[in-house]
Amino acid sequence: MAAGGTGGNSGKTYSFKVVLLGEGCVGKTSLVLRYCENKFNDKHITTLQASFLTKKLNITGKRVNLAIWDTAGQERFHALGPIYYRDSNGAILVYDVTDEDSFQKVKNWVKELRKMLGNEICLCIVGNKIDLDKDRHVSVEEAESYAESVGAKHYHTSAKLNKGIEELFLDLCKRMMETAQAEERLKGNGASQAASSRRGVQIVDDEPQATPAGGCCSSG
């Protein structure tokens, strides 16, 4: 699981951690399953099933490893949230478009995330179950303007119809890459020097063992 890439002759591998937040029945499990396995109906998933999923992507020539952390939506586990989302690069906050309550929950999480992680975390607010649009209880305008007001992006998805999910993740990845690149530039020439904290962005140059002869490291 280490960020070190395998092979490849150039470029970097980004490792991003994304937390998935949302109340019990909003369909966040189906959403990630759809994305990572594209097996909405299949019962055979990875070892930790829908709780923890990984996905490898290639975006504009850069390799990206996504680790998607599901969190428990129940109120009684709420206090335990922070240890899940620390060091996250992105958060996907899911609500059910037919359930006003679940949208309120999303607002609470947004507040908490911004407070704990600041502006560096890329937020996605996702209205799921748009296949049930006739029962919609959260208006598109309200949701979108709220998202904009907190610097988040808003998406509409249907795990059932496999709508909007690819776009959501692709977009999020691009934004996380931009954030990481901006961070790199700030730090100078991209050497992952003095990361401010145990942040998940681990950028590893993986020139395969091109150790120059005698070029031994200055030991610490």
Specify the stretch interacting with another protein by CB under 8 A; choose among 96-104, 121-129, 167-175, 211-219: 211-219
Find the binder of another protein among 14, 35, 73, 110 (CB under 8 A): 73
Distance CA 68, CA 64 (A): 12
Task: Kindly state whether residue 49 participates in binding another protein, applying the rule CB under 8 A.
Answer: yes
192 binds another protein (CB under 8 A): yes
Q: Return all residues near 55 (Cβ < 8 A) that are at least 6 apart.
A: 35, 36, 65, 66, 68, 169
Task: Give min distance, CB of 151 to another protein, in A.
Answer: 23
Of the two residues 26 and 147, which places its CB atom closer to another protein in the complex? 26
Judged by CB under 8 A, does residue 202 bind another protein? yes
Of 34-42, 124-132, 135-143, 167-175, the segment contacting another protein by CB under 8 A is 34-42
Binding-site size, another protein (CB under 8 A): 60
Least CB distance to another protein at residue 111 (A): 21
Q: Which is nearer to another protein, 58 or 209 (CB)?
A: 209
Contacts with another protein, residue ranges (CB under 8 A): 1-4, 15, 17, 20, 24, 28-30, 32-34, 40-41, 43, 45, 47-52, 54, 67, 69-74, 76-77, 79-80, 83-84, 87, 159, 191-195, 197-198, 200, 202, 204-206, 208-209, 211, 216-220
